[in-house]
Amino acid sequence: MSEVKARVELLAHTPEPLSLIYAAFRQCYHAGDVADMWPRLLAGDISREKQAAFVENIMASGHASPIEHVSFTFALSGVSRALTHQLVRHRIASYSQQSQRYVDASDMNYVMPPAIAANPKARERFLNFMDEVGSAYRDLKAMLEEDGRGSSSCEDARFVLPQAAASSIVVTMNCRTLLNFFEHRCCTRAQWEIRGVARTMLSLCREVLPEVFRHAGARCERLGYCPEGEKFTCGRYPLPERRS
């Protein structure tokens, strides 16, 4: 058993993402068939600058549904079950997560919160508990195997595993879902672990498709004020009623 840190990898994204979004937007306002335009886009006859300007202008008007045609797939590892429980609440997405039912967790890795790591007494108690969990899991698994459960013993032994247990998950989101995800999870009010993962995902998205993700992030960064209200604001941006 050992402590692990989050790792975020971009596995794949829709090919020619800007051109595909441009074509989808153009179809909404174009009398012809964008299938006839597609070869020209791939050949570079319509510059990236022209495509970007068109896409950003239309998105600024509030029309965003065509960006759903482009998706990004990430592999997240070294993240806690606490994080993945938050992640899967973003429902317009696809997930494939490492199963605690089938994967033996006898040597479970774990994620330690920074606040606990910074407190010597809390850190010691946390590590002791991780050892206790590991011991209980292995004992229960062995007892169930003796009862003839075989490899299926993992599915019941897992009930003692904590939210700190490390996991791996593959997630695919379209651009519109990603923008919403970043609005909520890049906010300083988001839980520290998923906020860090979201910011890394955003950085990777910006490298591929800056035209869509240049202004993505916490809502306050786009709005110029904090929409969370006086009770929850972090103070980085003024509240609506305090704007000049």
Residue pLDDT, tens place only, 105-154: 999 999 999 999 999 999 999 999 999 999 999 999 999 999 988 888 99
243 catalytic per annotation:
no
Q: What is the pTM of this model?
A: 0.91
Do 190 and 70 belong together in one domain?
A: yes
**Helix (H) / strand (E) containing 13:** strand 7-13
Taking only the tens place, the pLDDT of each residue in 162-181 is: 999 999 999 999 999 999 99
Read off the DSSP letter of residue 110. B
* pLDDT of the residue at 79: 98
Taking only the tens place, the pLDDT of each residue in 50-90 is: 999 999 998 888 888 999 999 999 999 999 999 999 999 99
Q: What is the largest CA-CA distance in the chain?
A: 71
Looking at every residue in the chain, the average pLDDT score rounds to 93
Contact 164, 2 (CB under 8 A): no
d(CA 75, CA 11): 6
Q: Is residue 223 part of a domain?
A: no
**SS3 assignment, position 164:** coil
Q: Which residues share a beta bridge with 172?
A: 73, 94
Taking only the tens place, the pLDDT of each residue in 33-57 is: 999 999 999 999 999 999 999 999 9
Q: Is residue 58 part of a domain?
A: yes
Do 35 and 147 belong together in one domain?
A: no
Do 158 and 209 belong together in one domain?
A: no
Active-site residue, selected from the candidate residues 81, 185, 195, 219: 185
Contact 78, 109 (CB under 8 A): yes
184: Cβ–Cβ under 8 A, 6 or more apart, which residues? 190
Read off the DSSP letter of residue 3. B
What are the DSSP E strand ranges found in 67-191?
71-80, 93-97, 166-174
Q: Let me know the angle formed at the C-alpha of 158 by 154 and 159, rounded to the nearest 5 degrees.
A: 135
β-strand 93-97 against 166-174: which pairing, if any? antiparallel
* pLDDT of the residue at 232: 83
**Number of domains within the chain:** 2
* pLDDT of the residue at 177: 97
Q: Is residue 22 part of a domain?
A: yes
Q: Is residue 135 part of a domain?
A: yes
Do 67 and 175 belong together in one domain?
A: yes
Domain range for residue 131?
112-164
Contact 239, 229 (CB under 8 A): yes
Contact 74, 9 (CB under 8 A): yes
Do 138 and 159 belong together in one domain?
A: yes
d(CA 137, CA 156): 9
Q: Which residues of 194-233 are buried (b: 16+ CB within 10 A; e: fewer)?
A: bbbbbbbbbebbbebbebbbeebbbbbeeeebbbbeeeeb
Q: What percent of the chain has pLDDT over 70?
A: 98
* pLDDT of the residue at 86: 97
Do 158 and 119 belong together in one domain?
A: yes
Q: Is residue 235 part of a domain?
A: no
Task: Give me Rg for the CA atoms of the chain.
Answer: 23
d(CA 50, CA 64): 18
Report whether pLDDT(100) > 60.
Answer: yes
Under the banding of pLDDT at 50, 70 and 90, the label for residue 242 is: low
